[in-house]
Amino acid sequence: MIETALTDLWYGFGVALEPHNVMWCFIGVLIGNMVGVLPGMGPLATISILLPLTFGIKPVGAILMLAGVFYGAQYGGAICSILLNLPCHPPHAVTCLDGFPLTKQGRGGAALGVTVIGSFIGASWGITEMIFLSPILVKVALEFGPTEICSLMLLGLLAGSTLARGSPLKGVAMTLVGLLIGIIGSDIDTGSPRFTFGIPNLYDGVEIVALALGLFGIAEFMKSVNQINVVETRYTKVRFADLKPTREELRRSWPAMFRGTLIGSLCSLIPGTGPTIASFIAYATEKKISKTPEKFGTGMIEGVASPEASTHSSVQGDFIPTMSLGIPGDAVMALILGALLIQGIIPGPQLIREHPDIFWGLVASFWIGNIMLVLLNVPMIGIWVKLLAIPYKYLYPSALFFACIGVYSANNDMFQVGETVVIGLAGYILLLLDFHPAPILLGFVLGPRFEENFRRAMLISRGDILVFLKHPISLAFISIAVLLIVMQIYLRLRQPKIIADERALDAAIDKTAPAEP
């Protein structure tokens, strides 16, 4: 088994190292990192804006570029957290706690250096997991009939919506809204238009780019306009030489990184437990086992190393169900799946066999991309630091233009720009009502396949809805889903400390905390 995995990986490196693929990966990492650094631009907005640019590229290049954008933006978010105390991206919120004090002590460079090392280790472990777990998952999943696929999707949707940020009930509501938006367009079986409001432009369904840019572009800009203060750049003078941690700092970071990696990979195995929760658990663990827990929050290098490693190992783990089962864990993965769909590639267990170049190329490019990130960040840190100072008032109009022209370029259709505006306004109203729109995308991407499999399962079982409980594998998925709901209710009633902490920090992120020195 190990031998086949290594052969496949070798093949993957062959694909990923083709010059044009290396180029797309590099462009993705570079732009992702650049945009991710900008205050107020998270990975979701970054990927949504860049998604239309990948339509003209071949599938392999497009997916490598998007993945590069994603982890580039992730890394950019860490820079933002450590140097500016701005938790632009939830998984890095916890890094602020010790990262920013380190910056104030003049050790911000070292914290960034440790982040580079930690995220590389975390990512490497996640990639290794992906290499060995995905083929096993695929082998199991290929045996699944429509009933099993349906239950699995139900579980995935439930996990994605209840464990996201905010109230689980509202998450479920958003997922259902996403499924509904997925219905708009022609019915797969009969071809009759559904919920198109009589508009012919909607017969092909809502465009994923319009949906993503409405929700994560326009709605976010409306939330952030005039809310993001001019950032404090007093501490951000980091030069190349500052990145090197001292021997003492490194000695303390190594074990923390490995613990973080382990926690992250465990979290990625539990459905729906994304990088944010992983980083919180990693930080809490470090604090608990430390000999000097009272010093956390004043600039402990372990408090940076462990959460960063856990985030990256968990993020890589999220790719496993996305690529091997076709079930995304969060909105970012849903966007990447959406990109595959646009390229005409149907995600699911058959993907590895039918498009080995995409799967193994992607796996190999993770390593190449992560090495690029390290190489890119070491000499270019000075430029990133300058980018941090770009005020939001110049940023969002430009981003808005990119959003408009991006949506237009998807199909050369102005109607879809209008779609984006309407979705953006609706998304902002949802934000005001304390809904987090990310699960909408999850439901939207999975919706059509969910309906198709549901119909097929019902057809085979002659309309017996209990069939989902009669097949053992399907029963197992349903049981886990029920368990998830029970756990949510339990957590609501008990409110353990870690959840309370997370909610408190969540509220802080929602206010888009201004940079206070």
CA distances from 405 to 21, 29, 31 (A): 25, 22, 17
Which residues are CB-neighbours of 13 under 8 A, at least 6 positions away?
A: 364, 368
**Least gap, CB of 234 to another protein (angstroms):** 21
Looking at 13-21, 33-41, 220-228, 299-307, which segment touches another protein (CB under 8 A)?
220-228
Figure out which of the listed residues 198, 226, 294, 496 binds another protein, where binding follows CB under 8 A.
Answer: 226
Q: Which of 63, 86, 172, 441 binds another protein (CB under 8 A)?
A: 172
Give min distance, CB of 510 to another protein, in A: 10
Q: Which stretch binds another protein (CB under 8 A): 108-116, 117-125, 335-343, 423-431?
A: 423-431
Query: H/E element holding 194?
Result: strand 193-194
By CB under 8 A, how many residues form the interface with another protein?
Answer: 60
- Burial of residue 241 (CB within 10 Å: 0-12, 13-18, 19+) is exposed
| Residue (90 or 406) nearer to another protein, CB | 406
Quick one: which of 60, 158, 108, 67 has its CA closest to 373? 67
Shortest spacing between CB 444 and another protein, in angstroms = 12
Q: Does 189 bind another protein (CB under 8 A)?
A: yes
Least gap, CB of 414 to another protein (angstroms) = 5
- The dihedral sign for the CA sequence 254, 255, 260, 265: positive
Nearer to another protein, 122 or 424 (CB): 424
Question: At its nearest, how many Å lie between another protein and the CB of residue 385?
Answer: 22
Q: Which two tokens stand for residue 196?
A: 């198109």
Is residue 493 involved in binding another protein (CB under 8 A)?
no
User: Does 133 participate in binding another protein (rule CB under 8 A)?
Assistant: no
What is the closest distance, in whole angstroms, from the C-beta atom of residue 150 to another protein in the complex? 12
Does position 471 interact with another protein (CB under 8 A)? The reply is no
Tell the smallest beta-carbon distance from residue 494 to another protein (Å). 17
The yes or no reply on residue 169 touching another protein (CB under 8 A) is: yes
The full length of the chain comes to 517
Considering only 270, 378, 417, 513, the residue that binds another protein (CB under 8 A) is 417
* Residue 222 interacting with another protein (CB under 8 A): yes
Cα dist from 84 to 77, 98, 110, 438, 507, whole Å: 10, 12, 15, 25, 18
Of 36-44, 68-76, 371-379, 463-471: span binding another protein (CB under 8 A): 463-471
Helix (H, G, I), strand (E, B) or coil at 274: coil
Phi-psi region of 344 (alpha: psi -120 to 50; beta: other; left: phi over 0): left
How many other CB atoms sit within 10 Å of the CB of residue 274?
26
Q: Are strands 185-186 and 193-194 parallel, antiparallel or unpaired?
A: antiparallel
Please state, in angstroms and rounded to a whole number, the distance separating the CA atoms of residues 238 and 383: 10
Work out whether 409 is an interface residue with another protein (CB under 8 A): yes
DSSP β-bridge partners for residue 185: 194
Residue 375 makes CB contacts below 8 A (sequence gap 6+) with none
Choose which of 35, 110, 179, 209 interacts with another protein (CB under 8 A): 179
With binding defined as CB under 8 A, does residue 491 bind another protein? no
Query: In terms of CB distance, is 125 or 408 closer to another protein?
Result: 408
Pick the closest to residue 311 from 257, 270, 369, 368 (CA basis).
Answer: 257
Please give the residue ranges that form the binding site for another protein (CB under 8 A).
Answer: 53, 56, 167, 169-170, 172-173, 176-177, 179-180, 183, 187, 189-190, 192, 194-195, 218, 221-222, 225-227, 392-394, 396-398, 400-405, 408-409, 412, 414, 417-418, 420-421, 424-425, 428, 432-435, 451, 454-455, 458-459, 462-465
